[in-house]
A and B are shown apart, each in its own frame.
Chain A
């Protein structure tokens, strides 16, 4: 199908009153989730997953709601970065460098407006990139046999530690834990149940959603209970939320460069938005910082990382939708949602359920418009919401989690399981073990194992089949590079980031 016609049909799907209302709701909730320090985009989406299910939404509608939350969180993260010098989520970290100095100089409103526009540019361009790139990638669909899929999943695991993980060993442990949990349930290749302990509830394996809501949302509540109240500093006065045209013109190049870099970082599996905004900032500093104003409130230092992290958010949807391999933690959560909705992401999605894909893409364009509107005139509202104390917020998180999980399966067993995962998530957080690899293990473990065994079954146990095609060899090469690249370059990049962050004070 022609991309343009498909996209127009997508707009027809997306532009119904219900879908528009859901997109607006998602944008508002997402911005809030992004703005509240501590609640990152993956947690935010995880908390709102049960909501989508308890509303009984069909696949397209649920996706529109949750991706709006995802984009909203990317916009929202900058608010507390700029006003409080506390990043609302990790990708917004780089925005503190020049955003907060701007706020201290009484230009908070200007910084918010500029970063809102930069986010819009990044988000819209990345969605355009998704439209152009995804169908190209989807064309490789039939080349993927069991061996190629296995290599692809190895690639996903090899790159997931990436730069985000401070400790590759802990990331590896987390992935192994996830893979182990994935073994629970029926083994499709032999039809024999494994690790089910005679519990019928475990025969289909552990529900991704239960694991995700437990690990992210419920553990969030436990962490809060443990640490108690943390009052946020007062955000101060905003000033006028506008940008002078001259500043915009000066920042146009920064936004476009940030967008390009962010998008590429987002498409690469395992890199994600944090890397996108980091690279966007450092490149921009190298390109434009002639007077040494970066780090002291240079608007370009706000525009570049904000465009970068929003472009990366869009870019991360490309591998998630076309290959079924998430490019970031949040897209891993979205992938689980898709699978729970009986939509199988991967090369075939574009052929089988074009209405879902293109409806989603159209909704993303719309969400960016809504977010621009929310973040320019209405940003004051979110600033006020920042002052909602967590003691009101956390019980709500707990309630939404439990009601949502129960409404999915109507089975009290899942409630016990969600608490168990909450405790597990809390323990892992205390040990500083990253949670995303656990989720990825649960999510991709079955597919990875099944494809390995299919490949070996078809080839009568000949292991060389695993690298028997050019595509498989290519994937293995990228996997090896993806695994060793960050291990070698990671410490260097982290040192640079630490130096930049240290220099701001």
Chain B
């Protein structure tokens, strides 16, 4: 059933391209900026999608990937807005982290509407987990502990205070009806790996991160995932994990991966790239990449993504204000 749907979608996507005015925009010398050093998520997005674009014949020559680290993506964002504002041949890797930082004003003087949001190629869903020997068995247990004795539950995450791993805890806590989210003790680590280690070592009581960061530990029986912050259960071997929603906590935390393009990109080029990213996402090649890297389905394109970014940005800004990060 699933397979047939996918083919239909793919066929639809291909048909969509064929009906486009093909002569309007030709990709050539395409560049993808990864706003971080090689090895991270943004670099992965640029390189994998760049490769897929070429292998699927959507672009004629390989996509050039440029790493532009700095300012948590802010250096690249400012560069694109100020120096490459009208470039039709440029994509920039982005994720929920990009929106978070924009919403918190971390890219000085930059706003989310200064660029055009193109499309996504999947997402990593948030999880809240505890060690396998923890007395907390359900998301309800954890939320009860956070409500009644927040000082005794330290939650580790792989992002800074106010970063995405912290915000996911707050989103869940708010959805569970906890009033004072400032009392929640969040311990910031450099990355998900370090945070999981702190959990396993018994130095903290809970962990907030993305599903890809705990898959290995679930299989080894070392952690218990209390909830995945996805709209429905994940496919395959992760289907045993309950969602927050089915436990009565209506919280979704999707760390999506995708692209933005310069704000002054022509409408023809923008339409081309929206469709190109959509085609990559629908391809069998990309299904394989997603399976290998643990990416989950998440597809929003063009106007839909622009709306989503606006909403996500507003939510994050409100939460950040509540915890005193933004005035």
Q: Which A positions have Cβ atoms within 8 angstroms of B?
A: 56, 58-59, 141-146, 186-193, 198, 200-204, 207, 340-342, 344, 347-348, 352, 408-411, 413, 447, 450, 454, 457-458, 460
Q: Which B positions have Cβ atoms within 8 angstroms of A?
A: 37-40, 66-72, 74-75, 78, 104, 106-108, 151, 154, 160-163, 185, 187-191, 193-194, 197-198, 200-204, 325
Residues of B within 8 A of A202 (CB): 71
- The answer to whether A188 and B71 touch across the interface, beta carbons within 8 angstroms, is no
Could you jot down 19 A-B contacts, CB within 8 Å?
A: A56-B38, A58-B38, A189-B161, A189-B188, A190-B161, A191-B104, A191-B161, A191-B325, A192-B325, A200-B78, A200-B108, A203-B70, A203-B71, A204-B72, A344-B190, A348-B194, A411-B70, A413-B75, A458-B187
Alpha-carbon separation in the docked complex, A96 to B203 (Å): 51
Residues of A within 8 A of B104 (CB): 191
Residues of B within 8 A of A186 (CB): 72, 160
Residues of B within 8 A of A450 (CB): 188-190
Residues of A within 8 A of B162 (CB): 191
- The answer to whether A348 and B193 touch across the interface, beta carbons within 8 angstroms, is yes
Contact (A201, B203) CB under 8 Å given A188-B188, A408-B37:
no
Chain B residue at minimal CB-CB distance from A198: B108
Residues of A within 8 A of B203 (CB): 145-146, 458
Residues of B within 8 A of A454 (CB): 187-189, 198
Query: A56, A141, A204, A458: which contacts B197 (Cβ < 8 A)?
Result: A141
Contact (A191, B160) CB under 8 Å given A59-B39, A200-B71, A458-B187:
yes
Alpha-carbon separation in the docked complex, A344 to B197 (Å): 13
Query: A409, A413, A447: which contacts B67 (Cβ < 8 A)?
Result: A409
- The answer to whether B201 and A204 touch across the interface, beta carbons within 8 angstroms, is no
Alpha-carbon separation in the docked complex, A410 to B66 (Å): 8
- The answer to whether A458 and B37 touch across the interface, beta carbons within 8 angstroms, is no
Alpha-carbon separation in the docked complex, A428 to B194 (Å): 35
Taking the closest CB of chain B, its distance from the CB of A211, in whole angstroms, is 15
Alpha-carbon separation in the docked complex, A450 to B198 (Å): 13
Closest 6 interchain pairs by CB?
A: A342-B39, A191-B162, A145-B203, A200-B71, A191-B161, A188-B160
Query: B69, B78, B107, B200: which contacts A408 (Cβ < 8 A)?
Result: B69
- The answer to whether B75 and A188 touch across the interface, beta carbons within 8 angstroms, is no
- Extra 20 A-B pairs, beta carbons < 8 Å, given A186-B72, A204-B69, A454-B198: A142-B197, A142-B201, A187-B160, A188-B160, A188-B188, A188-B190, A189-B160, A191-B162, A192-B325, A200-B107, A202-B71, A341-B39, A342-B39, A348-B194, A408-B69, A409-B75, A413-B75, A457-B185, A458-B154, A458-B187
Alpha-carbon separation in the docked complex, A348 to B216 (Å): 14
Contact (A204, B39) CB under 8 Å given A189-B188, A344-B190:
no
Taking the closest CB of chain A, its distance from the CB of B90, in whole angstroms, is 13
- The answer to whether B39 and A143 touch across the interface, beta carbons within 8 angstroms, is no
Alpha-carbon separation in the docked complex, A342 to B191 (Å): 10
- The answer to whether A457 and B201 touch across the interface, beta carbons within 8 angstroms, is no
Taking the closest CB of chain B, its distance from the CB of A142, in whole angstroms, is 4
Residues of B within 8 A of A189 (CB): 160-161, 188
